[in-house]
């Protein structure tokens, strides 16, 4: 199963006898709560998922795990069962923009053992651009699913494992904006810069202006230019792990399996002994 689905294909699937379960993961860093946009308009039948509350664990400012810590298996499992997910459930996730929040949901479901999940390419913007129907009607709660979290479906790294990957010649991609990578600005976290040995690969460079991913051949070329090829040890990180999940998704579309440093930069800098690099 492809990890992406086009808006037209989702519309057709929703009209079929076996429609997928659709999850709206609208979220914006520093913006209004996603539930507000969901209440105004969403894909008919979509259930809302809160990134901070359901796709992240409790956050302790300055604590290990980063700004969006991994959720505990029991808590994540309970949220997915509430949404109606079971072993045979086909899931489509989307958000309002370039699919960063949706990719977080995609990665977590796969990490916890559910691979029947796809991301709507281009998100809600692509859906509305093609004039598919929207609604403000909140669907009835889904019948509880039988989802059982089984960690390990995707490769997850901690800070020490990330440092070891770089030391061993692996490729560590930084999905943040290039100016944050260089340490010229840092609007969110307490320190500016990047993990030594990392390579800048901003998420905006492998997606179109409308948020859709480039074609697989283009993605393969883009990542190969940064040393990320099939057979290499590749990992991605960002500020808090969400955009890095988006990069792992892009890498998978290019045919390059990659690990995720889930805590990312906001976790790395909690230990003052960890080195920080700036510049190119």
Q: For the domain that residue 170 is a member of, what is the CATH number?
A: 3.40.250.10
Which tokens go with 171? 């490729």
pLDDT tens, residue order, the chain (280 aa): 789 999 999 999 999 999 999 999 999 887 889 999 999 999 999 999 999 999 999 987 767 789 999 999 999 999 999 999 999 999 999 999 899 999 999 999 999 999 999 999 999 999 999 999 999 999 999 899 999 999 999 999 999 999 999 999 999 999 999 999 999 999 999 999 999 999 999 999 999 999 999 999 999 999 999 999 999 999 999 999 999 999 999 999 999 999 999 999 999 999 999 999 999 8
Would residue 238 show up in a list of annotated catalytic residues for this protein?
yes
The residue annotated as part of the active site, out of 4, 159, 238, 251, is: 238
Do 100 and 194 fall within a single domain? no
Do 113 and 192 fall within a single domain? no
Do 194 and 111 fall within a single domain? no
Do 12 and 125 fall within a single domain? yes
Is 140 among the domain residues? no
Residue 13: count other Cβ atoms within 10 Å of its Cβ. Answer: 16
CA of 195: how far to CAs of 180, 251, 268, 279, in Å? 11, 20, 8, 11
Question: Could you tell me where the DSSP H helices lie in the chain?
Answer: 7-14, 34-40, 51-54, 73-82, 100-111, 123-129, 159-167, 178-182, 216-224, 242-253, 264-268
Residue 259 DSSP SS3: strand
Task: Report the relative pairing of strands 259-261 and 171-174 from DSSP bridges.
Answer: unpaired
Whole-angstrom distance, CA of residue 56 vs CA of residue 255 = 27
* Per-residue pLDDT at 117: 98
Do 255 and 209 fall within a single domain? yes
Do 10 and 75 fall within a single domain? yes
Is 144 among the domain residues? no
Is 16 among the domain residues? yes
- Closest among 236, 227, 229 to 255, alpha carbons compared: 229
Is 79 among the domain residues? yes
**Model pTM above 0.75:** yes
Whole-angstrom distance, CA of residue 164 vs CA of residue 247 = 20
Backbone angles phi, psi at 237, to 5 degrees: -145, 170
Range of the domain at 186: 156-268
> 129, 144, 169 — which closes off a domain?
129
CA of 66: how far to CAs of 59, 69, 86, 210, in Å? 7, 5, 29, 29
List Cβ neighbours of 200 (8 Å cut-off, separation of 6 or more). Answer: 173, 174, 178, 181, 182, 194, 280
Is 279 among the domain residues? no
* Per-residue pLDDT at 198: 98
Give the angle 135-246-8 at the CA atoms, nearest 5°.
40
Is 136 among the domain residues? no
Is 277 among the domain residues? no
Do 23 and 117 fall within a single domain? yes
Q: Where are the beta strands (DSSP E) in 128-250?
A: 156-157, 171-174, 199-200, 234-237
* Per-residue pLDDT at 32: 87
Do 169 and 228 fall within a single domain? yes
* CB distance 64 to 88 below 8 Å: no
Residue 214: count other Cβ atoms within 10 Å of its Cβ. Answer: 17
Do 125 and 200 fall within a single domain? no
Is 146 among the domain residues? no
Whole-angstrom distance, CA of residue 222 vs CA of residue 244 = 16
Count the domains in the chain. Answer: 2
Which tokens go with 191? 């320190």
């Amino acid at each position: 199963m492809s990890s992406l689905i086009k808006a037209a294909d989702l519309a057709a699937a929703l009209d079929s006898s076996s429609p997928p379960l659709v999850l709206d993961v609208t979220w914006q860093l520093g913006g209004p709560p996603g539930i507000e946009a969901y209440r105004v308009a969403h894909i008919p039948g979509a259930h809302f998922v809160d990134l901070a509350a359901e796709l992240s664990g409790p956050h302790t400012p300055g604590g290990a795990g980063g700004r969006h810590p991994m959720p505990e298996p029991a808590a994540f499992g309970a949220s997915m069962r509430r949404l109606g997910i079971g072993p045979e459930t086909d899931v489509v996730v989307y958000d309002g923009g370039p699919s960063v929040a949706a990719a977080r949901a995609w990665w977590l479901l796969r990490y916890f053992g559910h691979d029947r999940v796809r991301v709507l390419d281009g998100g809600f913007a692509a859906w509305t651009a093609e004039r598919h129907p929207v609604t403000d009607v909140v669907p009835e709660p889904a019948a509880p699913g039988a989802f059982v979290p089984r960690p390990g479906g995707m490769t997850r790294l901690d800070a020490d494992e990330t440092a070891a990957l770089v030391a061993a010649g692996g490729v560590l991609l930084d999905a943040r904006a290039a100016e944050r990578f260089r340490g010229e600005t840092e609007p969110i976290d307490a320190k500016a810069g990047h993990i030594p040995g990392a390579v800048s690969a901003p998420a905006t460079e492998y997606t179109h202006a409308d948020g859709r991913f480039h074609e697989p051949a283009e993605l393969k070329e883009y990542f190969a230019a940064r040393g990320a090829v099939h057979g290499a040890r590749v990992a991605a990180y960002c500020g808090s792990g969400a955009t890095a999940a988006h990069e792992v998704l892009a890498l998978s579309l290019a045919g390059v399996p990659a690990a995720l440093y889930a805590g990312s930069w906001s976790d790395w800098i909690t230990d003052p002994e960890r080195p920080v690099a700036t510049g190119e």
